[in-house]
Amino acid sequence: MRHLKVIKAGLFTTIQDKGRYGYANKGITQSGVMDEISYNYLNKLLQNKEDTNSLEIAFGNIELYSDVETYICVTGAKCEFFINKQPKQNYKVYKINIGDTIKVGKILEGQIVYLSVKGGFHIEKELGSNSTTIKESIGGLNGDKLKNNDTLPCSTHHFTPLTKLKKRFIPRYEDNEEIVLRVVLGYQEQNFKKDQKEKFFGSSYTITKEFDKMGCKLDGVPIVCDIKGIVSEAISFGAIQIPPNGQPIILLKNRQTIGGYPKIGFVIQKDCYKLSQMKIGSKVKFKQITLEKAIELERSFKQLFI
């Protein structure tokens, strides 16, 4: 079959789609792309179906050889991107031919790059998804990250509009900028006293190096909860755990399915995607919004890409 050949896999490149849903009660994490904003733009630009798989490139430095005539696009973090050593732009569809080389070099601004082709890669889904969960060896190519010499099967395409995203829509990730994460109170919020909530919303937190697909540990003013732990229960995407040391943890796509730390509420999905592009050491602040507002934001975000 026609394919892209992996010449250099990069440090941490995996195949992801929106995630694996419906298996959390078997202990299987949802997984999926960390930044659905860039990922949705990618599928939109390539006119792919909304759940089409893509490469999630965490540290750049990936090189592919094309054995196919098709279309390619790169979104997400600002990065060096070359086709046959010619510099190319993110958020723009390019035609590639047999014999072409594609390279994503250094990541310049942001953290994660998405790359896919017209129609995505033809890889069999596991439990309804191509998302790679390395811990459980599910999805992707043999449940693992990309390795040199892997083959990414895809089909030949002759015609596709060479669209590009208007500059004003391209997400930007200025380094070390402080971002605001919008939060709705929920779960055990009644176990946090008023002054603790004020502290939580009034302080600035730093993103620690314990930041991956599972979650993001923050460092700053500790928050005190009236209770030490809770009976283990299911954890949502974006849930904010407050462990006994008082430092918030935001749970992301590869979070454990259940856990026993109290949770003050959740960060709205769109802001979790923005967080995923932030650097270690960046600052975050929390801002409280109502559930109604969060639903409205989430619905309009989803509608944008339907």
- Residues of this chain that interact with other proteins (CB under 8 A) are 21-30, 126-127, 135-136, 138, 184-189, 231-234, 236-239, 256-259, 265-266, 268-269, 291, 294-295, 298-299, 302
Q: How far is the CB of 260 from other proteins (least distance, A)?
A: 10
Q: How far is the CB of 122 from other proteins (least distance, A)?
A: 19
Which of 232/245 has CB closer to other proteins? 232
d(CA 302, CA 212): 24
Number of H helices, E strands in the chain: 4, 18
Q: How far is the CB of 184 from other proteins (least distance, A)?
A: 6
Q: How far is the CB of 17 from other proteins (least distance, A)?
A: 15
Enter the DSSP assignment of 189: G
In the structure encoding, which two tokens stand for residue 227, read together? 């209770």
The 3-state DSSP class for residue 53 equals: coil
| Contact between 96 and 89 (Cβ < 8 Å) | no
Q: How far is the CB of 200 from other proteins (least distance, A)?
A: 17
What is the sign, positive or negative, of the torsion defined by CA atoms of 257, 259, 261, 264? positive
Which of 30/70 has CB closer to other proteins? 30
Q: 270 — alpha (psi -120 to 50), left (phi > 0) or beta?
A: alpha
